[in-house]
Chain A
Amino acid sequence: MNIGYYPGCALHGSSNDYDQSLKACLGALGISLQEVKDWICCGATAAHSLNHKLALALPARNLALAERDGFKEVFAPCPLCSMQLLKVRKAVADDSVRQELSQIVETELRGEAEVLNLIQVFESVGLDRLKTAVKQPLGSMSAACYYGCLLLRPPDVVKFDDFEQPNSMETLLTALGAKTVEWSYKTECCGAGMTMASEDTVLELAHKILTNAVEHGANCVVVACPMCHVNLDMKQAAVERKYGKKLDLTVYYLSDVVGLALGLSGEQLGIDRHFVTHAPTTAKTAIAAGPGSEH
């Protein structure tokens, strides 16, 4: 399977560990991620706050480049990048918009390439195939699946899962033999970019999320967004300091969990590079570790 890979700013930068995890996990499934050549910024939040056309043109160029490179599917691990691509794909259903954007980005944009998120990439491999590929069942894992904001919203753009009560990640993890918990903060905001502008906001929100996960019996959190990972993992120590409690909750990327189930090691997946880490070197110990456990 040949998927166009759009890493965006995060995956080559501060969330480089996610890039490592993805390549290891998907590589083990025979999925080759080929970077879209010459990709540019997706526009993130800055573009649409300032100029509507720019906000469409930036992801339009990326989608057009992916199509030019011959990809039928594009995978953007950051949900914001992914949502921008979906947004422009929806907009170009109007042919006059498509033509205008093609002109602006100086590349023919057909709007035909599918845009997938990580969960959809796994779904396209097939749950049955994944089940049979499991080498290390995740039986001791009790995961709180955290979706955050942009994986599911805006619903008329993203059109994936139920944006109030999602369960696509849970279905996937259950197929791999993990337990998941029903908890109340699946889709609550982590604070996103406030991590730079207003750290206290992020700490408060992250605190609520992590605490609720623990209260509902989770021994880890699973995310599919590099920003969420930063706010829940990198900032966890600051949360612990501010609120005076120990959380010690591993925050896995979804690809980490799938990779572990496939038998890859923590180092291969880059789990040892997380901030909250129990420095396990084998899959077995990685999963068995939970809040407050010794390692």
Chain B
Amino acid sequence: MSRIGVFTCWCGENIARTVDVDEVAKQVGELPGVVCSLNYKYMCSDPGQSIVREKIASEHLDGVVVASCSPHMHLKTFRKAAQTAGLNPYLVEMANVREQCSWVHHDRGAATHKAIDIIRMSVQKVRNDRALAPISVPVTRRAMVIGGGVAGIQAALDIADAGYEVVMVEREPSIGGKMAGLSETFPTLDCSQCILTPRMVDVGQHPRIRLYSYSEVEAVEGFIGNFKVKIRQKPRYVDISKCTGCGDCWTNCPIKKNPSEFDYGMGNRTAIYIPFPQAVPARPVIDKINCTRLKRGKGCEICAKKCKAGAIDFNDQEKFVEESVGAIVVATGYTLYSIAKEQDKKSLSGYGEYGYGKYKDVIDSLQFERLVSASGPTNGVLKRPSDGAIPKNVVFIACVGSRDNAKGVAYCSKICCMYTAKHTMLYKHKVHDGKAHVFYMDIRSGGKGYDEFVRRAIEQDGANYYRGRVSKISQENGKLIVRGADTLAGMPITVEADLVVLASAMRPAPGIEELAQKLNVGYDEHGFLMESHPKLRPVETNAAGVYIAGAVHAPKDIPESVAQASAAASKVQITLAADHLFREPEIAGVSEQTCAACYTCVRACAYHAIDRAEVRTGRGVFIKHTARVNPGLCMGCGTCVSVCPSKSIELQGFTEQQIYAMVESMA
């Protein structure tokens, strides 16, 4: 037996001017199931809400319809009011008689008639509502940060400083990411390592941060508040708990000529090595491909002989560890587009006109950073790779691979205009009589102090900027012949360069698609992870509990990465704020006895919220297969309901029964 109360609002004049609210209250009062029907000037006001609460008590209402504005305005308001009066908040509906009636129709009769119809539908809906309780999901109050670049470091420190344990997983031997390899950063020309390494040390020493370096995420199970992550620790062949970082091993290693990954091939490292002196952890790792002992199974072992701490372990194996966390931040950063002919994606082709990478002195921007870095392979002296000569003419080419529909990526990589200007300045500061030539399409310098920075490069440091593309680079007598266009002068231009630096496109780091699939996070055709909403939810993803920060989301510079990381950290803190999370209960549920286990719903669910499960007796005897909704993940869209042939799955708050009742009331 229903006891519905209908409260029609005047909304001052907004509704009452067009809709005859007295007539409405009278007619609605005669609908089956309605025991109380009145109207009032401002239902959302305190006295208005009091009326609702009072009637719930005095009339023993089991359902409430407020006929007023859009549910997007005040549904929460009235649900709260009902709850304080002891009525389950999910037994409250709103009839939109303002935005969708009084404000758009001017014929009083038609508007009143429509308002009554709308309320009639809402009465039918609420009669079929069920009392629901918010779903409580337990929360493991720890977080994981995947990626130890500047974004990951920022997020980890924020979360850890707020009092939560953080597990950081970094696949390189050291944290620091790309920023650790940069020389100076725009627009301040701060020394990159100088500003980053203190934070790296903070991470390494933080009592609440557990760092798994040289490790990768192997598998992820669970859902928000309840993730179980399997981490694969790659073998270092060095026991970092014993190692003191003294350096006796790497200074004595006889295998010296391996291209250094940290230097992007611009310098060499030994087979046992530390990627850079300020590494965190400051412990070496052995490259098993080039190490004599590991390659052959015997021989050498100089490092072990020299190690006073006995930390070398040639029998090291990969290890698996499981960590439980409640929230995950993905901050895996970027890599640069390669101009080589071989590409990892069909949509990309290299740049044959720039040589496909065969010219030693055609390098990319990260390689240039290492050559000018004071702690780089040439100690900050800009020597070109082929013969070590100091280049007197350097050409910088912008937009290599970016903004290129034919063979690269369509998007703009955002940071290259700024770092190219920076590169010209760093170059000129080192080689005073050198000439810097920049071939650009547009200058994008929209940040704070950014445009002024670019102007400085041109006006004070004398960089030559040509608006045009480079059509070909060839090599003659040790010089690189760069042929391009100067569209503002209306002429082709050829520069004989000693060194060419390509501002290559920023792409997400390799392996991002596999990681995204493990986390159920969406990604676009370039691999960038998808945010929930580009404007209003830029750090959340459609996988509840997984957040993103930094260049894994889209090309961005250091200030934005840091800001986004703090934003993600704050979202994590909301998730971890209590032992339990409450989720809206208007979600789907399967009637397991009638489910035909065709799993169409499992395939259709955008949130992977439905699992294949089994119905068993209390004693564990198998009865049948079924689909089962995970209440921690379901977002309540109802796509599953439409594809279910037996309609064994229902969406609370929008059941078939309700919708049919609403529609049939219009007959």
**Shortest distance from the beta carbon of B359 to any chain A beta carbon, whole Å:** 11
Does A184 contact B476, Cβ atoms closer than 8 Å?
A: yes
The distance in angstroms between the C-alpha atoms of A212 and B476, with both chains bound, is 9
The 10 closest A-B pairs by CB, nearest first: A164-B352, A184-B474, A165-B352, A164-B353, A162-B352, A165-B356, A184-B476, A215-B476, A184-B475, A184-B481
Q: Is the interface of B mostly helix, strand, loop or mixed?
A: mixed
The distance in angstroms between the C-alpha atoms of A164 and B341, with both chains bound, is 11
The distance in angstroms between the C-alpha atoms of A21 and B353, with both chains bound, is 33
The distance in angstroms between the C-alpha atoms of A184 and B341, with both chains bound, is 18
* Cβ of A163 under 8 Å from chain B: yes
Contacts of B481 in A (CB 8 A): 184
**Shortest distance from the beta carbon of A207 to any chain B beta carbon, whole Å:** 15
Instruction: Add 12 more A-B contacts to A165-B355, A215-B477 (CB < 8 A).
Output: A162-B352, A163-B352, A164-B352, A164-B353, A164-B356, A165-B341, A165-B356, A184-B475, A184-B476, A184-B481, A185-B474, A215-B476
Contacts of B352 in A (CB 8 A): 162-165
**Shortest distance from the beta carbon of B86 to any chain A beta carbon, whole Å:** 71
The digit string for A140-169, where 1 denotes a CB below 8 A from any CB of B, is: 000000000000000000000011110000
**Shortest distance from the beta carbon of B351 to any chain A beta carbon, whole Å:** 8
The digit string for A187-223, where 1 denotes a CB below 8 A from any CB of B, is: 0000000000000000000000000100100000000
Contacts of A212 in B (CB 8 A): 476
Contacts of B341 in A (CB 8 A): 162, 165
The distance in angstroms between the C-alpha atoms of A71 and B642, with both chains bound, is 57
Contacts of B477 in A (CB 8 A): 215
Residues on B facing A (Cβ under 8 Å) = 341, 351-353, 355-356, 474-477, 481
Residue of A nearest to B350 (CB): A164
Residue of A nearest to B475 (CB): A184
Interface size classification for chain A:
under 10
Residue of A nearest to B354 (CB): A164
Contacts of B351 in A (CB 8 A): 164
Residue of B nearest to A163 (CB): B352
**Shortest distance from the beta carbon of A210 to any chain B beta carbon, whole Å:** 14
Contacts of A185 in B (CB 8 A): 474
Contacts of B474 in A (CB 8 A): 184-185
User: Can you list 19 A-B contacts with CB-CB less than 8 angstroms, sorted by A residue number?
Assistant: A162-B341, A162-B352, A163-B352, A164-B351, A164-B352, A164-B353, A164-B356, A165-B341, A165-B352, A165-B355, A165-B356, A184-B474, A184-B475, A184-B476, A184-B481, A185-B474, A212-B476, A215-B476, A215-B477
Contacts of A164 in B (CB 8 A): 351-353, 356
The distance in angstroms between the C-alpha atoms of A185 and B477, with both chains bound, is 15
The distance in angstroms between the C-alpha atoms of A50 and B351, with both chains bound, is 33
Contacts of B355 in A (CB 8 A): 165
**Shortest distance from the beta carbon of B408 to any chain A beta carbon, whole Å:** 14
**Shortest distance from the beta carbon of B481 to any chain A beta carbon, whole Å:** 7
The digit string for A258-283, where 1 denotes a CB below 8 A from any CB of B, is: 00000000000000000000000000
**Shortest distance from the beta carbon of A129 to any chain B beta carbon, whole Å:** 29
The distance in angstroms between the C-alpha atoms of A67 and B504, with both chains bound, is 48
Residue of A nearest to B356 (CB): A165
The distance in angstroms between the C-alpha atoms of A164 and B359, with both chains bound, is 14
**Shortest distance from the beta carbon of B251 to any chain A beta carbon, whole Å:** 41
The distance in angstroms between the C-alpha atoms of A50 and B355, with both chains bound, is 36
Residue of A nearest to B351 (CB): A164
Contacts of A215 in B (CB 8 A): 476-477
| CB under 8 Å from chain B, chain A span 28-75 | none
Contacts of A165 in B (CB 8 A): 341, 352, 355-356
The distance in angstroms between the C-alpha atoms of A215 and B477, with both chains bound, is 9
Residue of B nearest to A184 (CB): B474
The distance in angstroms between the C-alpha atoms of A212 and B477, with both chains bound, is 11
Residue of A nearest to B352 (CB): A164
**Shortest distance from the beta carbon of A202 to any chain B beta carbon, whole Å:** 17
Residue of B nearest to A164 (CB): B352
The distance in angstroms between the C-alpha atoms of A184 and B353, with both chains bound, is 10
The distance in angstroms between the C-alpha atoms of A185 and B356, with both chains bound, is 16
Which residue, B351, B352, B477, has most C-beta atoms of chain A within 10 A? Answer: B352
The distance in angstroms between the C-alpha atoms of A184 and B474, with both chains bound, is 6
**Shortest distance from the beta carbon of B287 to any chain A beta carbon, whole Å:** 32
Contacts of B353 in A (CB 8 A): 164
The distance in angstroms between the C-alpha atoms of A162 and B341, with both chains bound, is 10
The digit string for A162-179, where 1 denotes a CB below 8 A from any CB of B, is: 111100000000000000
**Shortest distance from the beta carbon of B642 to any chain A beta carbon, whole Å:** 38
| CB under 8 Å from chain B, chain A span 111-165 | 162-165
The distance in angstroms between the C-alpha atoms of A118 and B477, with both chains bound, is 33
**Shortest distance from the beta carbon of A279 to any chain B beta carbon, whole Å:** 33
Residue of B nearest to A188 (CB): B472
Contacts of B475 in A (CB 8 A): 184
The distance in angstroms between the C-alpha atoms of A162 and B352, with both chains bound, is 8
The distance in angstroms between the C-alpha atoms of A164 and B350, with both chains bound, is 10
Contacts of A162 in B (CB 8 A): 341, 352
**Shortest distance from the beta carbon of A65 to any chain B beta carbon, whole Å:** 35
**Shortest distance from the beta carbon of A20 to any chain B beta carbon, whole Å:** 35
**Shortest distance from the beta carbon of B397 to any chain A beta carbon, whole Å:** 15
**Shortest distance from the beta carbon of B260 to any chain A beta carbon, whole Å:** 28
The distance in angstroms between the C-alpha atoms of A184 and B475, with both chains bound, is 7
The digit string for A87-126, where 1 denotes a CB below 8 A from any CB of B, is: 0000000000000000000000000000000000000000
Residue of A nearest to B473 (CB): A184
The distance in angstroms between the C-alpha atoms of A165 and B476, with both chains bound, is 16
Residue of B nearest to A216 (CB): B476
Contacts of A163 in B (CB 8 A): 352
Contacts of A184 in B (CB 8 A): 474-476, 481
Residue of B nearest to A186 (CB): B474
The distance in angstroms between the C-alpha atoms of A244 and B312, with both chains bound, is 70
The distance in angstroms between the C-alpha atoms of A163 and B351, with both chains bound, is 11
Residue of B nearest to A215 (CB): B476
The distance in angstroms between the C-alpha atoms of A212 and B356, with both chains bound, is 21
The distance in angstroms between the C-alpha atoms of A215 and B481, with both chains bound, is 14
The distance in angstroms between the C-alpha atoms of A165 and B475, with both chains bound, is 13
Which residue, A164, A165, A184, A185, has most C-beta atoms of chain B within 10 A? Answer: A164
The distance in angstroms between the C-alpha atoms of A212 and B481, with both chains bound, is 12
Residue of A nearest to B481 (CB): A184
The distance in angstroms between the C-alpha atoms of A215 and B474, with both chains bound, is 13
**Shortest distance from the beta carbon of B480 to any chain A beta carbon, whole Å:** 10
